[in-house]
A and B are shown apart, each in its own frame.
Chain A
């Protein structure tokens, strides 16, 4: 049961943006800008952006965001979809590039205590080929999902348990992107 009367039976963030569409609009626009576009010099793919979002949501134990963005990342990775579950299990041993690995370390620091993103942590990403835009976008994706996760969990929204529900969400996010849900 959500903490407040949302007057709809949508899950997670969708129930909240249906409850208050005026704040929902910039929340969805931010997700679209973060996950489907990048800083001019950013080398991150949409799949990698979704993976960072899923990874941060997993660290924050927000199952709805973790599972939906993991599904979107799997959809966007296509044949390389196994990377998603490898990263969620342990980024250190996942078969991803050194650059993505270093950016995931930045994302973890932002999630746990952003003051610990040291020169050394940022420098390691740069040494592995990350651009300024990659570092910026990784920090902002991680910071933004710390917001989305707290919003979704803080109001105790509905979290589906059926994996098939997330697969459908992932395909929708992978094809249509972030479009405000319409009230029924």
Chain B
């Protein structure tokens, strides 16, 4: 089956198509009909609004609400978990959001490579370890990891939020991958998306996401 051709027939621009050479499975179309102009999570959140609403609200509270963790730190947790789940769409989007919030692109990259050697505080290293333990299937958050975070100054609320952000991104990653949504390959797509989630947050825009006007030829 000619995937590129079938994507073109569905009207997905070439620059938004997944990079098949870099995925470990062949991505076909999503398992359910989703709007072509809404790749990744966006189409899913429009598919069923009654479930999307609490998911959006929870994300807005956790990543943009009042917290002693910065928004950039919270995006780093989202990015690390998405990367460990190998969900390219979410990893790219939240890495971009972290880059914008931190004002540079080195920290997020280093966190994804190895949180222990990344240029973040000992408290963040400990919280990232808790996030990684929360994500890992069949593992548990250990007493030692919690103790380490506490010694480095983490509060109960920070530990709680780290676990819940990590758990929430397991939901997102599995939702996005389980329905085989499209992950655009063009980095420019994530520049726009990262900017949107930094500056507008996770709430649904009034009126949703209308399809772009059709042009002839």
Contact = CB atoms under 8 A, between A and B. Distances in A.
Bound together: yes
A30 B58 contact: yes
A140 interface: yes
Nearest to A122: B31
Nearest to A7: B156
A153 B180 contact: no
Interface stretch (B11-19, B45-53, B99-107): B45-53
Contact of A27 (B53, B58, B163, B170): B58
Interface residues of A, number: 50
A26 B54 contact: yes
Q: Which of B51, B138, B178 has the most CB of A within 10 A?
A: B178
A-side binding surface: helix, strand, loop or mixed? helix
Contact of B170 (A4, A19, A150, A156): A150
B-side binding surface: helix, strand, loop or mixed? helix
B193 interface: no
Nearest to A151: B167
Q: Size class of B's contact patch? A: 35 or more
Contacts of A140: 48, 51, 175
B123 to A, nearest CB: 15
B146 interface: yes
Contacts, number: 140
A108 to B, nearest CB: 11
A77 B21 CA distance: 47
Contacts of A136: 32, 44, 47-48, 179
Contacts of B156: 4-5
Nearest to B131: A154
A34 interface: yes
B32 A132 contact: yes
29 contacts: A3-B141, A3-B159, A4-B156, A4-B160, A22-B65, A23-B58, A23-B62, A26-B58, A110-B174, A110-B178, A112-B137, A114-B175, A116-B25, A117-B31, A117-B177, A119-B180, A136-B44, A136-B47, A139-B31, A139-B175, A140-B51, A140-B175, A143-B175, A143-B178, A146-B167, A146-B174, A150-B163, A153-B140, A155-B141
